[in-house]
Amino acid sequence: MTYKLPPLPYDRGALEPYIDARTMAVHHDKHHQAYITNLNKALENYPELQSLSIWQLISDLGAVPEDIRTAVRNHGGGHANHSMFWKSLHYSAGGEPDGKLARGIDDSFGSFADFKEGFTKAAMTLFGSGWAWLCLDSEGKLHIITTPNQDNPIYQGYMPLLGLDVWEHAYYLKYENRRAEYVDGWWNIVNWGYVSSNYAAANIELSARDIAAWAEDAWSKITSAFSGTSGE
């Protein structure tokens, strides 16, 4: 099995005026495809790894042969991150979350306004290329973190719920070097329904369990929440 580029869940121009059609075409069709192509190339001689979902593959990099570990970390992470990214956006979204996710954000950050301020700061102060994330730890607490390059929060023992790509290829055609405008616009198209489904899937009993056991037992729920990304 080889990993494949998932289709966008909307037209390329659907996120205008916040993300333009040309950026979406280059970002999805060129950059995301390149991560998949390079990942499949790295796995050519390891058919046992090709049968894993992308989340299973990147969750245990120590089990990946050393000669391809860096390639899997970078390109596997790029595939997983972007697969989540497309689903976390929607033209009829934005606003604020509700239900359990809203309560979780209030419990962890004080309020949605405080969370939004902290997340925006993380995205703006990340040096170079990388991602800002809302993620869950092994005790069920929400965190804002950043990762360099295409690293995924799973590498640090967190479960990703929402990620913002702040590589320049995600915004430069429209915003040039104005990252702040890109981040500000992004809040208008965050698909909180998708993020809430991720939170519901990952927010299981975690006390007295380590992250590896949690991930192993939760795969069926996680792959369901991330439908369209597992095994591709």
Tell me the domain boundaries of the chain.
21-87, 99-218
Tell me the C-alpha distance between 47 and 64, whole Å. 12
Given pLDDT bands bounded at 50, 70 and 90, which one contains residue 49?
A: very high
How many other CB atoms are there within 10 angstroms of residue 188's CB atom? Answer: 14
What percent of the chain is modeled with pLDDT above 90?
Answer: 81
Region 58-67 average pLDDT: 94
Question: Which ranges in 126-191 belong to alpha helices (H)?
Answer: 172-175, 179-186
What does DSSP say about strands 159-165 and 130-136: parallel, antiparallel, or unpaired? antiparallel
Q: What contacts 97, CB < 8 A, 6 or more positions away?
A: 105, 112, 192, 195, 196
- Least confident residue range of 37-51, 109-123, 191-205: 191-205
The reported pLDDT for the residue numbered 140 is 87
The reported pLDDT for the residue numbered 205 is 40
0.75 exceeded by the pTM? Answer: yes
CATH homologous superfamily for 21-87?
Fe,Mn superoxide dismutase (SOD) domain (1.10.287.990)
Architecture per CATH, domain 99-218, reads as 3-Layer(bab) Sandwich (3.55)
The reported pLDDT for the residue numbered 42 is 97
